[in-house]
Every structure is written in C-alpha cells, then in structure tokens.
Structure 1
Amino acid sequence: MSLTSRAGSELTPAELYAVLRLRVDVFVVEQECPYPELDGRDLAPSTRHLWATTRDGRLAGCLRVLADEDGVQRIGRVCTAGFARGTGAGGVLMRAAMEHIGDAVSVLDAQTYATGFYARFGFVPEGEQYLEDGIPHITMWRR
C-alpha cells in the first residue's frame, strides 16, 4: 500500500475525482446519508488530503486535515473502501495525519462506533453524543 499526501491546491483532477468518489460511495451511498459532500474546502491550499492506494492502483482509503480559523487542525472525511476494511489502511492514514499535525491541537467528529479507533491516536471524547444524518457521532479532541 502506498500513501499520498497533497495540499488541496496540488490535487490533479483525477486525484480529486477518486477521493470524492470514494467519499460519496461510503458516506452517501453505503451509509445512505444524502448530504452536501462538496463543501468548498477540498481545494483550499491549507487543506491536506491523504490517501492510501493498493499495489494494483485501487483507492483503499482517504481523509483530509483542515486548518480551522482558530488554528485547530480538524480531521474529517475519514473513510475506507469496503474491500480494504480490516487491512490497516485506516491506521496508516491516521498515523500520517498525526505526523502532519504534530503537536497542534486537533479535533474530529467521530461516528460513535469508531471512538476506540481514534482513541489509539490520542483523541478523547468531549461533550454529548449527537445525530448527524441519522448516525450517532461524538466530538473527540487531542489537546
């Protein structure tokens, strides 16, 4: 598996298409959550996209790191293709995101079933659970 990291302004059209397609396949189709996937932040120079690709060129997973206005680093759109779940692709992506973020304060909004996964990277749940698109979530911080 290979890992790629690019700023939003560095993405090629083919790379952006592949990332957006995986996110739509997982979040909109598989999880049945029609939501506005295109939020205007993917192409920002401050946005960092990370993705893992198999040896045969298939996109195994992706995530993005956003620089919020208050300096907090926000991890989001973390997803793994169905065929790659359980292979460690998510861990590879999160380790790379943590390396990119360093010691900066970071936050993510986790689907509650995944809190144990994010806890492995130092994230701690804060606040109450909430529903987003009918799926239980909780905000997790790494301070």
Structure 2
Amino acid sequence: MEIQWTVKPFSELSALQLYQILQLRIDIFMLEQNCLYPECDNKDLKAVHLFGMHEEQVVAYARLLPEGISYADLSIGRVVVHADYRKYGLGKELMHRAIAYWASEAPTQAIRISGQLYLQRFYEDLGFEKVSDVYLEDDIPHIEMVKR
C-alpha cells in the first residue's frame, strides 16, 4: 500500500487537507473514544502537521508542536490512524517520521508526549520513557513520556 507522507505548517495546508485532518481527529478522538473536548484549541496554528494520505484521503496524522506550546519540550500529539488502516503498521511509521522530523530540526532537544496508558509499550519501543504517574485526560488514563 502506497502512503504519501507530507509535513506542512498550518499556513500551507489546503482547505481539503485541514478538513480531512480535523475529520479524522474528530472521528477517532471524539466519536470512537467518546470524548467531548475542544478539538480546535489554537495549537494547530503553531504546529507542523505530519500526515499520510492513501487514495486522496488522510489516513494517519500527528501534530508536531514546538517547545513552549503544550510543554517546555518539543511535543508530538493527536497521533491517530484511521480505523481501516491500523493493521498496516502506520502508527509506528507515523511516529518514526515525527521523531525523525524533530531529530532533524532540533537534534538535542527532548520530545514529550501525553500517551494513552494502553499504548505505553508502543511508545517505549520508540524510545520514550514514562515520567509521570497515570492521570485522566478526558476520562482516559494517560501518562507523560519523554524521549531524550
């Protein structure tokens, strides 16, 4: 399966790309996970958007935030893969690409994430280590993790 990967700042996203990104995030985080929260939080305006497309549809996405937006460190958030594409390992490829982006832009800086607890091993396999106790975010257990 051919995935076309793109990295763009907010100002360079087309209306269709932005629409599909928000649609994917809402479909998964709000509808599938049954969480009500403000999806449009103004952080997108300062983010770099990494997304994978298959047949003109956004199927994987991560939001890359500079330091000082969500954390003092760089961060990766809103990591999501369309339900129909989860069996292809796109989550791991997406995270490898997100980590590589920050490694090229700021090689000495740490990357901090807020990961769902059930994905702890997934993130540990990518080099992140747990740095917080479990906490609830939108009634879902999360942990803060850092990759140095």
TM-score bracket, normalised by the shorter chain, equals: over 0.9
CA distance in 2, matches of 1:131, 1:43: 26
Residue identity opposite 1:101 in structure 2? W
Match in the other structure for 1:128 = 133
Amino acid at match of 2:51: W
Q: Could you give the per-residue CA deviations for residues 115-138 of structure 1, whole angstroms, max 9, x where no partner exists? A: 111112210011100011111000
Q: Any unmatched runs of 5+ in structure 2?
A: none
Displacement of 1:43 in angstroms is 2.1
Name the structure 2 match of 1:111.
Answer: 116
Question: Following TM superposition, by how much is the alpha carbon of 1:68 offset from its aligned partner in structure 2, in angstroms?
Answer: 2.3
- The alignment status of 1:28 with 2:27, answered yes or no, reads no
Q: TM-score, length-normalised on structure 1?
A: 0.92
**In the alignment, structure 1 residue 61 sits paired with structure 2 residue 51:** no
The two structures have a TM-score, normalised by structure 2, of: 0.89
State the aligned residue count. 140
Identity of aligned residues (%): 36
In structure 2, C-alpha distance between the alignment counterparts of 1:8 and 1:122, rounded to whole Å:
28
Q: CA deviation digits over 1:100-127, x for unaligned, max 9?
A: 1113211000001111111122100111
Point out the more displaced range, 62-71 or 6-15: 62-71
Is the 8 Å Cα contact of residues 11 and 43 (structure 1) preserved in structure 2? no
The structure 1 segments of at least 4 consecutive aligned residues displaced by more than 6 Å after TM superposition are none
| Counterpart residue identity of residue 59, structure 2 | A
Letter in 2 for 1:139: E
Note if contact 1:4-1:51 (Cα within 8 Å) is conserved in structure 2.
yes
Match of 1:75 in 2: 76
